[in-house]
Every structure is written in structure tokens, then in C-alpha cells.
Amino acid sequence: MSARVTIATTLRVLRQLRRDPRTVALVFVVPPLLLTLFRYVFDGQPQTFDRIGGPLVGIFPFVLMFVITSITMLRERTTGTLERLMTLPLSKLDLLLGYALAFGLVAAVQATVTAAVAFGLLGLNVEGSIVVVVLLAVGNALLGMALGLLASAFAQTEFQAVQFMPAFVLPQFLLCGLLVARDQMAPALEWISYALPLTWAYDGLQRAVDGGDAALIARDAAIVFAVTLLALALAAATLRRRTP
Amino acid sequence: MGLLGPSGSGKTTLMRAIVGVQVIRSGTVEVLGLPAGAPELRHRIGYMTQAPSVYGDLTARENLDYFARIVEAAPERVEDVLETVDLIRLSRRPVRSLSGGERSRVSLAAALLGRPDLLVLDEPTVGLDPVLRRDLWNTFHRLAEAGTSLLVSSHVMDEADRCDELILIRDGRILAQAPPEELLRSTGTDWLGDAFLVLVEGAS
């Protein structure tokens, strides 16, 4: 492992992103726009928007980083740059951490912009700390990144990688408790929801918005972090130096 | 050392085995006295894949800056290798906007960065104009004289006599390994393409 190679990788990934201004614009503009859309969709039920708006600030980065990472890593595989890197003195951890730093940074900016729109312009109430919401959002982005890295190992084409988004992300989004309280679901689904990381991410966000118990927020964040590490370890195992 | 054979003969598989990215089903590969794929070798081998393995959205210079940091090459090396592959003029354009030949030169430049002891180059001169091809072969000879081992694959026979030694390969089997003059003498031919045919017919 080498900090020099990790940082070089982070800078390289950020430089690639900068070369694609449209993607950068989408990353920073789409979440606030979607949140605004939610605000007016629930125009007649402001209490619903008050309930889901805050947590959404921290869920968008999860969805987005999943997509961006799975496609970026798939490109590394298909263009042969991953094979070149595997012949060089670069450890897999350097590569994964390099990605994590770059996307973590992007997620932090994205969550800050979204939070500013949500709690500023759209007037969402927050009892707790906005900083905690943004920090949790970055943690969720890293979870999305780790799952995206893992998913990319199972995709052979970009079409497949894009389809993994609804397959991996949408069920978690439906079951996490954001749209419908989990105890209103069929009992089997409620149990399944506890096995999904986004459920804990959502709980943490909701507590952070409502000014809930700090110890419980820390527990939720720790669960999300543990799943992130597990997914990263599995992703590292799928990054083979030798391939057929 | 030239590795020659038709498409699908196993040139790339052999090269990947040597640089340590190929799953080897049986047998062992030893490179520079170490088992292929050993971490110590990653500083000592430069590998250029057949398809240009560089980042299309970055410029040649940005690609090389990144790879230079990984192999711990001095920043001036980037300028050196850009000059070697004659890309200084195009070095600030995104690689995606370059032609196929130019892209593969960026890929070659990346393999040269770390002054490796062994250079494994998979069809480095495909799609290049004759002048540049000659210049690159001169570079390869200069590197070889300075002590670098080069393994260069090609499916074009007219590049074969530029090598000090040739390996002819077909269907995953090595047909012959010898200097070009010796291959011509032993097969009684005066062109390496014919020598290859004689060897193929002798083997079957």
C-alpha cells in the first residue's frame, strides 16, 4: 500500500470526472431538482414531504455513486487499463481507496449542495444537525460506491451495469422505510429490510434530521460502515491480477 | 526477441503469462529468475497490451503522469518517452481524439516510463506509418543495446528480420526459436514467410 499511488489514483479519477462537465453538472444538479420535484408532488401533503425530504438528502448520493462507480470500474476492465494496472506496482487497496477518496469528495460536495437546497430554499425543518446529515450522506455514498464496485464484477457490458441499479438499489429504496413505515409492510419484507444496508442508512438519517439519540445514530452509521468494508473486501477479491 | 505467428496462435496468451496476468493451467513461467507475477517483477516489466490500455478521456501527458507516479519514474521521464514515440505535439489532446496508431503510441510510452529490464510489447507497430515504424524499431534496438530485453510480437513477417532472435508460434506451440539467419539456413529459404511455411508443413 502506498499513499503516493492512492493519491495519484484519486487525482486521476477526479481529472477524468472534470473532463466530463455534463456528468459533473448532473451529479450536482439532479439531486436538488429531484428534491424540489418531491416538494411539489407532495404539495397537498406537506407533512409527508417534511418526513421524507431530509432523509432523501442522504439517500441520493448512495444511488448515484452506485451507478457512477459500477460503470467507471467496468470501463477500467473493458479498456484494459485495469490489466495494465495489475502489472504495475499498485496494490488493489491503492486502487479501491483512490476511488473511495475521489468519490467520497464528490459525494461531500453533492450532499452539501443538496442539503443547502433542502434546508434552505425548500424550508425543510431539521431538529438535529445538518452537518451530521451531510456526514451520513458521505458514508452512504461510500456504501453505494462499494456495492457498485462489487456489482461491476458481475457485469460484462455497460447495459448490464446500468440494469444493476434497479436490481440492487430499488428494492432497498422501497424497503428501507422511507416511503412506507416498515411495520406496515408484510412481515416477511419487514424482516428482509433489516438485512439491507440502506435500511440502517435511512434510520440514521431520519434520527439525524429529527435530532434523535446520538448513540443510535452512531450505531446506524457503524452498521453502514461495516457493510461498506465488507463490500469493499469482496470487491477486492473480485479484482484478480490473473484472468483467463 | 520477436514472437511471430498468425492471429490466434497464442502470442498474447504467452505474453500475458510472462507479465503475470494470465491464469496458467499447467506448467510454470519464470521471468528474470522469479516466478511470473511475483510482486518484485512489477517494477521491472513494462507491458503494452494489444488494444491501447490508456484513459481515453485524459490527455497523453495526464495518462503518463499517472503511470509515472505508480512506477516512481521521474517527472522528466514523461517528456523523454513522449519524444521517443513522437507525440510531444499531440500530448495535450484527449487520447480519445487521437488516431488508432497515436493511441497505441501513448500506450507504448506508458510501458517505457519505468525503464523496465524487460519490455513485453504486443504488436506495438500495428497501424503505424513506415517512417515511424522504422524509428520505433531503431528505439527498440537502442534499448536492447543498453541492456533491456524486449519481447515484441507481430503477425507481419517483414518485421521479423529486425529481431535478434525469433520465436515462431502456431496453435499454441513453438515451432522454432533461433536467429533469423539461422531459420533461413535451416529451412533453405530466403524469406522468413517461406521459412515459416516450411516449419508448419514439417510439424504437421
Q: Which amino acid is at A177?
A: G
Task: Tell me: pLDDT of B204 over 80.
Answer: no
Q: Which tens digits make up the pLDDT trace of A176-212?
A: 999 999 999 999 999 999 999 999 999 999 999 999 9
Mutation target among A2, A12, A91 for the B interface, most CBs of B within 10 A: A12
Whether ipTM tops 0.95, in short, is: no
Residue entry with cell 533461433: B178
Distance CA A151, CA A166 (A): 12
Hey, what's the cell of B48? Answer: 503494452
What is the reported pLDDT for B96?
A: 95
What is the reported pLDDT for A109?
A: 93
Contacts of A212 (CB under 8 A, 6+ apart): A128, A206
Task: Tell me: pLDDT of A11 over 90.
Answer: yes
Contacts of B158-167 spanning 24+ positions with Cβ under 8 A: B159/B2, B159/B125, B159/B133, B160/B2, B160/B4, B160/B192, B161/B192, B162/B2, B162/B137, B163/B1, B163/B2, B164/B1, B165/B1, B165/B2, B166/B1, B166/B2, B166/B3, B166/B4, B166/B192, B167/B1, B167/B2, B167/B3, B167/B4
A96, A235 Cβ separation under 8 angstroms: yes
Percentage of residues of chain B with pLDDT beyond 70: 100
Three-state SS annotation for B22-44 = ECCCCCCCEECCEECCCHHHHHC
What is the reported pLDDT for B135?
A: 86
Task: Tell me: pLDDT of B83 over 90.
Answer: yes
Percentage of residues of chain B with pLDDT beyond 90: 62
Q: Which of B22, B56, B71 sits opposite A88 (nearest CB)?
A: B71
Contacts of A162 (CB under 8 A, 6+ apart): A67, A71
What is the reported pLDDT for B202?
A: 81
Task: Tell me: pLDDT of A219 over 80.
Answer: yes
Q: Which tens digits make up the pLDDT trace of B112-161?
A: 999 999 999 999 988 788 888 888 898 899 999 999 999 999 888 778 88
Mutation target among B41, B69, B120 for the A interface, most CBs of A within 10 A: B69
Instruction: Say yes or no: B74 contacts chain A, CB-CB below 8 A.
Output: no
Instruction: Say yes or no: B70 contacts chain A, CB-CB below 8 A.
Output: yes
Instruction: Say yes or no: B121 contacts chain A, CB-CB below 8 A.
Output: no
Percentage of residues of chain A with pLDDT beyond 90: 70
What is the reported pLDDT for A14?
A: 95
pTM score of the predicted model:
0.89
What is the reported pLDDT for A2?
A: 87
Question: Which is nearest to A196 in space by CA: A38, A31, A62?
Answer: A62
- H or E, element range at B151: strand B149-154
The mean pLDDT of A21-44, rounded to a whole number, is: 92
The mean pLDDT of B54-71, rounded to a whole number, is: 96
What is the reported pLDDT for A88?
A: 94
What is the reported pLDDT for A40?
A: 94
Would you tell me how many other CB atoms lie within 10 Å of the CB of residue B98? 20
DSSP code at position B54: S
